[in-house]
Amino acid sequence: MDFASVPASNYPLSDLVSLLNQGFEDYFIPIQFTNSAFVNMLHKDGIDLSISRILQADQEACGIALIARRGALRACRLAAMGIARAIRGKGAGSWLMQELIAEACERGDREMVLEVIEQNEPAVKLYRKYGFNSVRRLIGCTRKSAEEFEKSDLQEIDPREISQLISQHGLPDLPWQLSGESLVQMNPPVHAYRDGQAYVVISNPEVEHVVIWSLLVEREARGHGLGTKMLRDVVADLGGKTWHVPALCPEEFEKIFERADFEKETLSQWQMKLELSSGLITH
């Protein structure tokens, strides 16, 4: 096959969504993007369509790679990569991966990061082939409602306040989507709450299934169970919900959620990073 890549910005949004959905056919977990969900992802994750790429095989679009970039940090993220089922196993993924790395080097990026489902062995193998190393395992958790907890008096705050605190107190190598720079891009109805020196950011509290996007305890207040208390408090105050922590939670925080009666999910991800040089990477 004759492979080529062109900027994703050359294509209308509806075509990009269609290519993304084709690329995730038969994936480990069902993924189906709508136009509105795609636009929200572009905004929240900082995806740049001018450096994102459409893969063509014999001049037919058959794959997509979405790239997010933060210029000040000279870091980029492979936010999603999907190859149409008809050409999988024919070298398309390897060809595109090498192109993406070469272009990142040409831009002067210092590193490329990504997350990949740990159980997706072919994808993990591909990224390791091109030099990506695991930073940590990322887990997801779920919890049903917990009316047995006593209700507290949480203080609702502007989510942008927590974004600044994450940059100050959070891990320096948090997954891209959980960094302060990403959380500040989240749109309403995201809500944030404070209890002393503990903070939490959640999705719309008016619906049945609520996502916990961020849990933070100020550095000097850690080791006193404030993170677990915050989880118990928000679950109790918003009773009758099913709670979900996406598989972006650093594994080292597992015990905090476990003590609040969250159950670890089966699927996990690797947070991976590739250190880039100014030269092109070839294998």
pLDDT at 102: 97
Kindly state the average pLDDT of the residues 71-89: 91
Query: Where does the chain have alpha helices with state H?
Result: 13-23, 35-45, 92-107, 121-129, 159-169, 180-183, 226-237, 254-259
Query: At a CB cut-off of 8 Å and minimum separation 6, what does 187 contact?
Result: 40, 43, 44
Cβ pair 5, 67 in contact under 8 A: no
Burial class of residue 23 (count of CB atoms within 10 Å of its CB; 0-12, 13-18, 19+): buried
Tell me the per-residue pLDDT of 85-95, one tens digit each, with 9 for 90 and over. 999 999 999 99
Q: What is the mean pLDDT of the chain?
A: 92
Residue 53 dihedral angles phi and psi, to the nearest 5°: -130, 145
Domains of the chain as residue ranges with CATH: 3-109 (3.40.630.30), 140-264 (3.40.630.30)
The Cα–Cα gap between 272 and 219 comes to 25
pLDDT, tens only, 134-155 = 999 999 999 986 555 566 779 9
pLDDT > 50? residue 82: yes
Confidence of residue 251 (pLDDT cuts 50, 70, 90): very high
The pLDDT score that the predictor gives to residue 144 is 82
Plot region of 256 (φ>0 → left; ψ -120 to 50 → alpha; else → beta): alpha
pLDDT score, position 149: 58
Radius of gyration of the chain (CA): 20
Q: pTM for the full model?
A: 0.92
What 3-state class would DSSP assign to 156?
Answer: strand
Q: Is the peptide bond before 246 cis (omega within 30 degrees of 0)?
A: no
Helices (H), 144-220: 159-169, 180-183
Closest alpha carbon to 8 in 58, 62, 64: 64
